[in-house]
Chain A
């Protein structure tokens, strides 16, 4: 009798790209629910819109590139990119801006570089940065968190605002939008106000902006799930948070009135989401253990530097993109010592 010749190993493979991406999507659920709770239906609408755009965009490009479409769509990586981007966008952003960002992320940043595994930059962050530099006003018009929002919009109102720009009667933009805590802190610090003064405002909670400060916890919960399922390792999130925290604590220690407390940085903006879901994107991150520590810590430090002295209130996207550039070099210089070798492998 004759049998097929197949190479080893002959085991059932426990792992797949789809499984990895599916866990990332599942781990986003607590954070998404929290975001929706605090910031309204716009979050979900943008998630759906971004996902549809990403899948359609990926399918079209794959067809143009004459590559099999279904296997690539089934890996769910386009969905993950879309969801991460939607979570970073202001909830009331006009629909076409989201479409532009997602198309840029999927078509240019991902597919034009060869598709999954070949893109040097994180597509979601590159798309986000494109929108941030192109539509700075729209991209910084967030909504106030639920407890501070005098005019919460219902789903239909939100839908209508996103797709037609039609505000409910009697409301204007200023009534439905607000700056993010990072933005507010920055603006006020630029006006030479002391942090103790700034924090008098009802906008502030225990250590960050009200509402905002609790969203991070839910993303953190998802991140712990990813750690537990070994979809990610602790190296990048921990080093990134540590890098940011060390910088923040240091400058807070030097001058408490112009530099916010460390936890403010950790639980503001995209820090937690970035640490567990974005910086850990395997394709664009460093892959050696030592390299991941350097990569993560550098993102943390860069986030602090850009937030404090740079031109933008949040900096996770810029920091991640800058470190994407450095990842291959970091990998090269941080090769582990191979079994039976005395020295580093990179000599």
Chain B
């Protein structure tokens, strides 16, 4: 295969199985330059915008925050902080609709902006990054809240700390999904910044080779990036125009196209010495390192027949979707669904008050013509078109069969977890079966079962530990008793006769002696027990009688011990 391009005429490209040539619908939104979106009145910042632990709020309702201030800190290794995208006041911390496939609301910090857009204190720019310790730079990237902007939103600092040596850094500018043009516009308009970021990423990974893959339906981006790479003077960095074929922007697919290597199943690219980052992420890294600026805005494509003027906006993270729609001509009246992401992998938003998050690359306000209702699913006719387009070479039809029958073990045997949910199979299915949906739900079910299993396992372990502890205690007790018995058995029966004083007996005697001495001393001092003072006559009489009886009884006892005992019984 030969693809004319000044930079990659010599670079060998590889194919992955299947894939689709889709109408790319990109010209609607990439005709105008990107512009900054207007400052919204409210910014809604979900605490979980990344893969990993959610961030923990460090502000309270009523606090004033400045642009760039940390408002939630990272919790744990796989997590990043969240920053205030503009200055204002925290007015709420609570549940709010967020862009998530589940459609469930999530915890958000809501900031009412003050319109001043006043910057807080930012960390020092690090201009001489190439002389700095990678750990310092990684910390800076983490502190800036940077996650993969291609869609997965995995904390970038973690990705840049591979355990294996890295030989190749791959920069993903493929942007293979139809309709989305945010990476395209970013590369066209900020190629220098992207390349500066790539240089930092390269320094961090230590990769000798750096390949920037861009689909050939973006010739302007290829030209700009080629120019920026040339003027940066970076050696071994190459912009490569790759054939447009969905999903070549999938991480493993792009690696295959550019290097011919297949990342092993359930492994990360680092296991074969490759790290892959998105162009948007590279630009964010450049901001963070060279300017100290945290990740508080991104390019977002707003497109589809449902909006008036499709275009790209540089929007603050947290801007409600509806405000971006209003700035792009508003709803055109033809909208039938609102999609976050592209038409192949995006998910529908139930509520347009949901905010833009770090991973939001596109808002697709699709008309009924663009996204027609495929109608009810018909039975599978086993045509196998799904298998012929699957980029992972799965057998989607068999997977569907097992997922539907809830035979999860068999589904895993057919490599369910290698599915990248690209949607190619669903797209071509003549029976309009929502295949990907079946795989997602099967995966979720397996995860839930595994969690259940882990819990049960934990409970079992705990139970076993408890039984062991009880058994140990019982054994110890038995051992003690046995030892004691042995000691007792060793002791001669009549120890008193031997003259050896029993320590217990001695202690008792000593105590009695002490009590007697005390009594005598008190008597000598004229003190009597408190409760015998000021007795009435009747009481004194009773006491005397009792004393007399005791004395009589004591005498009797001495002589007739047995009968008394019997009487007591």
Contacts and interface: CB of A to CB of B under 8 A. Distances in A.
A339 B379 contact: no
A75 B377 CA distance: 12
Contacts of B345: 8-9
B380 interface: yes
Contacts of A5: 103, 348, 350
A230 B262 CA distance: 28
Interface string B389-408: 00111110110000000000
B339 interface: yes
B160 interface: no
B245 interface: no
20 contacts: A3-B351, A6-B337, A7-B437, A8-B344, A8-B346, A8-B423, A8-B436, A9-B436, A11-B178, A11-B371, A12-B369, A19-B430, A75-B378, A117-B379, A282-B381, A283-B382, A289-B387, A331-B395, A336-B393, A339-B393
Contact of B352 (A1, A77, A287): A1
B374 A13 contact: yes
Contacts of B544: none
Main secondary structure of the interface of A (DSSP, over half): loop
B343 interface: yes
B17 to A, nearest CB: 7
Nearest to B364: A10
Contacts of B344: 8-11
Contacts, number: 169
A7 B436 contact: yes
B370 to A, nearest CB: 7
Interface string B340-376: 0101111111111000000000001010011111101
A340 B427 contact: no
A75 B349 CA distance: 33
B434 interface: yes
B382 A339 contact: no
A151 interface: no
B366 A10 contact: yes
Given A10-B337, A287-B387, A288-B387, A4 B379 contact: no
A200 to B, nearest CB: 47
Contacts of B22: 11
A335 B350 CA distance: 40
Interface stretch (B84-92, B263-271, B468-476, B520-528): B263-271
Contacts of A338: 265, 392-394, 415, 418
A282 B395 contact: no
A339 B427 contact: no
Contacts of A3: 335, 337-338, 348-352
A331 B414 CA distance: 12
A192 interface: no
B385 interface: yes
A175 interface: no
Interface string A7-24: 111111111110110000
Closest 3 CB pairs of A and B: A117-B379, A9-B423, A340-B265
Contacts of A342: 264
Contacts of A37: none
A114 B132 CA distance: 68
A331 B397 CA distance: 11
Given A282-B383, A283-B382, A341 B350 contact: no
A16 B343 contact: no
A40 B381 CA distance: 34
Interface string A97-121: 0000000000000000011111000
A71 B378 contact: yes
B350 A345 contact: no
B426 interface: yes
Q: Could you say which of A3, A17, A115, A282 has the most chain B C-beta atoms within 10 Å of its C-beta? A: A3
A10 B350 CA distance: 15
A199 to B, nearest CB: 42
Contacts of A65: none
B372 A12 contact: yes
Contact of A115 (B103, B379, B426): B379
A16 B376 CA distance: 12
A339 B16 contact: yes
